[in-house]
Chain A
Amino acid sequence: MATAFQKVYTQISQITKATCSLKAKGVGYDELATINGKLAQVVKIMGDNVTLQVFEGTGGIPTNAEVTFLGKSPSLKVSDQLAGRFFNAYGLPIDGGPEIEGKEVPIGGPSVNPVRRKQPSELIATGIAGIDMNNTLVSGQKIPFFADPDQPFNEVMAMVAMRAKCDKIILGGMGMTNDDYYFFRNTFSNAGALDRIISFINTTEDPAVERLLIPDMALTAAEYFAVEKHETVLVLLTDMTSYADSLSIVSNRMDQIPSKDSMPGSLYSDLAKIYEKAAQFPESAGGGSITIIAVTTLSGGDITHAVPDNTGYITEGQLYLRRDSDVGKVIVDPFRSLSRLKQLVAGKKTRKDHSQVMNAAIRLYADAANAKTKLENGFDLTDYDNRCLSFAKDYSSKLLAIDVNLNTEEMLDVTWGLFRKYFKLEEVNIKKEFTDIYWK
């Protein structure tokens, strides 16, 4: 990669497992370099002592290796040619296709100035009632799935992506198994949607540290389509816990003092830098939006871990998946999930009875949970308790389950149907204005 008149350093002063140090001048933070052809990035500068992090590790690098600085931080070439392609963490094609021609943009730039944004107000319909009815998503929102590693979060995310009406879907895969990679690839191509999907993939085979580039690559592509092409862009990031794991590896190698759960002290800023790129642009600026749906895997459902904890402060809610053993399906847990932006669209972009139906259903579902405790403690159930339990089963399998596909009107109608089937009018406690229309 060395070009004419480019300075080549050949004296490495120190080599650790992941870094090389040498004396060099005129280099900047995050600048890329090659060491005997291996890609590295500047992570520390002390005077003229520069530490480079070698992405694939320092194995096989001699002290007299040739080091050249590339004079730029990681970048991505952006143009319409990105559509339908698969890339690695450096933005290079991995699908055997040609290189992209276009404007070269450095990744990881600042997020859009808040004064240039608009309050999110467009509904993103997913067909899953546990999301659309109880935790409605809004374009320009940032929201993660909190899920145990064994839960089908990638399947749900792929489903959401296919059903959401957006112009581009950008997938950032971090520490993905090849199975997951092929799953996404097949799902997208089988649905004939490949032309609106762009993927940046780091699999478990690739060096772990490379995955730190993935979210910035994905979001740089997203900003191109949203800002310059005024498109609605959905960014899927899976999984942010393995991204954070890489952060901790790097900070450890840089001799930073670890914070809680061996995460770097900058974890909050590192995550916020990514999530805050979600934005809705006003029509006056041509529209366009970036919506981020991420996955944060939990270890043993522990939400007090530094990663989900910090994520929860940044994102606008979270979606929980839970296996409901009563109906044998994976559902979106109505008690623990929350979309903080739902009231911006519920009853405004959806039918007017939306929030009342949602609240009534969740209250009755909570009554069912109490009835279940009563049953487990060996008490007699009342007629109301039994009706609640039957309602909960139907509600869980017909609405909360992730295999549901209904439009927002249909899900409200189905819920009204369940109300009428199991309850009396006064048990549902919904405004008369709505019961007059829908309680038939």
Chain B
Amino acid sequence: MNPIDSYSKYLEYPEFAEYIKEHINEEWIPKVLNLKTRMQRGKEIAEQINILGDDGVPVDYHVTFWKSEVIDYVILQQDAFDEVDAVTPLERQEEILNLVTKICEKEDFQFDTFLDVTDYFKKMINLCKQMNYSLYKSEQYYDYVKQIEAMLN
């Protein structure tokens, strides 16, 4: 599914906003919209990098781009052929969303080159993927959450 070209009008409906407020919380829609904006920004930067090259853009751009990659890999790309990852209940979705939002909101990175950015986020994505493959609330699951939190501090 193309995350940028696809859309659902439901996010704009007051009835849905009311519903989701009851079933998850009232921050859900703003959080989703925030991630959508980040996806779009990531795409724009990917185009810039294609034109100017990796060295042609500031390191910050790479950070923004890779944050959008985290959203893509961790939330949008589910493994439909994996028993655990194929079924993500709302409660788990919220936890993933919160975690990814946390990763996206971290600003105080200190990277020297874009290569460091890539290395860092690839490690992060791999940990998140492993978390997605783990049984919800299992020991293994919490172990990955801990490792991800450690990378954020």
Binds A, one of B1-9, B95-103, B118-126: B118-126
* A101-B133 Cα distance, complex, nearest whole Å: 60
* CB-based contact A379/B126 at 8 Å: no
Q: Are B115 and A382 in contact (CB under 8 A)?
A: yes
Cα(A412)–Cα(B54), bound, Å? 33
Contact of B54 among A343, A347, A355, A379 (CB under 8 A): A379
Residue from B50, B118, B126, B133 in contact with A425 in the complex, judged by beta carbons closer than 8 Å: B126
A380/B133 contact (C-beta < 8 A), A343-B81, A347-B81, A426-B122 known: no
Is the pair B123, A426 in contact by a Cβ cutoff of 8 Å?
A: yes
Determine the chain B residues whose CB is within 8 A of the CB of A425 once the complex forms. Answer: 126
B55 interface neighbour in A346, A377, A380, A426, Cβ under 8 Å: A380
A426 near B126 with CB under 8 A, answer yes
Closest to B127 in A: A426
Nearest opposing residue in chain B for A343, CB measure = B81
How many B residues are at the interface, by size bracket?
Answer: 10 to 19
Name the B residues within 8 Å of A427 (CB-CB): 122, 126
> How far apart are A433's CB and chain B's nearest CB, in angstroms?
7
Collect the chain A residues with CB atoms within 8 Å of residue B67's CB: none
Interface membership of chain A positions 417-433, coded 1 if the CB is closer than 8 angstroms to chain B and 0 otherwise:
00000001111010111
Question: Cβ of B82 and Cβ of A431 under 8 Å apart?
Answer: yes
Is the contact region of chain B dominated by helix, strand, or loop, or is it mixed? Answer: helix
Interface centre among B79, B81, B118 (most CB of A within 10 A): B81
Bound complex: CA of A359 vs CA of B126, how far in Å? 15
A384 at the interface (CB under 8 A from B): yes
Cβ contacts under 8 Å, A432 to chain B:
130, 133
Give CA–CA (A113, B39) in the complex, Å.
48
A384 interface neighbour in B73, B82, B118, Cβ under 8 Å: B118
List B85-131 residues whose CB lies under 8 Å from chain A. 115, 118, 122-123, 125-127, 129-130
How many Å from the CB of B83 to the closest CB on chain A?
11
Task: Specify which of B53, B79, B81, B127 is in contact with A380 (CB 8 Å cutoff).
Answer: B53
CB <8 Å contact, A429 and B129: yes
Name the A residues within 8 Å of B115 (CB-CB).
382-383
Q: A428 — nearest CB in chain B belongs to which residue?
A: B126
| Per-position binary interface string of chain B over residues 21-63, scored 1 when its CB falls under 8 Å from any chain A CB and 0 otherwise | 0000000000000000000000000000010011100000000
Instruction: Name the interface residues of A403-440: CB closer than 8 Å to any CB of B.
Output: 424-427, 429, 431-433
**Interchain CB contact under 8 A, B54 and A382:** yes
- Distance A427 CA – B69 CA, assembled complex (angstroms): 13
B53 touching A379, Cβ below 8 Å: yes
- Chain B hits for A382, CB < 8 A: 54, 115, 118
Task: Give the docked Cα–Cα distance between A429 and B69 (Å).
Answer: 13
Note all chain A residues with C-beta closer than 8 A to B130. Answer: 431-432
Instruction: Assess whether A431 is in contact with B126, with CB atoms less than 8 Å apart.
Output: no
Distance (whole angstroms) from the CB of A402 to the closest CB of chain B: 26
Contacts of A347 in B (CB 8 A): 81
Residue of B nearest to A379 (CB): B53
CB A368 to nearest CB in B, in angstroms, measures 16
Chain B residues near A346: list those with CB within 8 A.
81
Q: What chain A residues lie within 8 Å of B81 (beta carbons)?
A: 343, 346-347, 355
When C-beta atoms are compared, the residue in chain A nearest to B124 turns out to be A426
Interchain CA distance A244-B50 in the complex, whole Å: 44
Residues of B within 8 A of A380 (CB): 53-55
Closest CB of chain A to B87's CB: distance in Å? 16
Residues of A within 8 A of B55 (CB): 380
B55 nearest in chain A by CB position: A380
Closest Cβ of chain B to A422, distance in Å, is: 14
Cα–Cα distance between A347 and B82 once the two chains are bound (Å) = 10
CB distance from B144 to the nearest CB of A (A): 9
**Within the assembled complex, what's the spacing in Å between the Cα atoms of A243 and B138?**
58
| Segment 314-362 of A: residues with Cβ below 8 Å from B | 343, 346-347, 355-356, 359
Considering the chains assembled together, what is the distance between the CA atoms of A32 and B70 in angstroms? 67
* Interchain CB contact (< 8 A) of A429 among B53, B54, B118, B126: B126
Residues of A within 8 A of B73 (CB): 429
Closest Cβ of chain A: how far from B53's Cβ, in Å? 4
- Inter-chain CA distance A40–B133, complex, in Å, is 64
C-alpha gap A103/B123 in the complex (Å): 67
1/0 contact string of A374-387 vs chain B (CB within 8 Å) = 10010110111000
Closest 10 CB pairs of A and B: A426-B126, A379-B53, A426-B123, A431-B133, A355-B81, A426-B122, A429-B129, A432-B130, A429-B126, A427-B122
Seed contacts A424-B122, A432-B130; 6 additional CB < 8 Å A-B pairs: A343-B81, A426-B122, A426-B125, A426-B127, A431-B130, A433-B133
- Interface residues of chain A, those whose CB is within 8 Å of chain B, are 343, 346-347, 355-356, 359, 374, 377, 379-380, 382-384, 424-427, 429, 431-433
Which residues of chain B have a CB within 8 Å of any CB of chain A? 50, 53-55, 73, 79, 81-82, 115, 118, 122-123, 125-127, 129-130, 133
24 contacting pairs across A/B (C-beta < 8 A): A343-B81, A347-B81, A355-B81, A359-B79, A377-B50, A379-B53, A380-B53, A380-B54, A380-B55, A382-B54, A382-B115, A425-B126, A426-B122, A426-B125, A426-B126, A427-B122, A427-B126, A429-B126, A431-B82, A431-B129, A431-B130, A431-B133, A432-B130, A432-B133
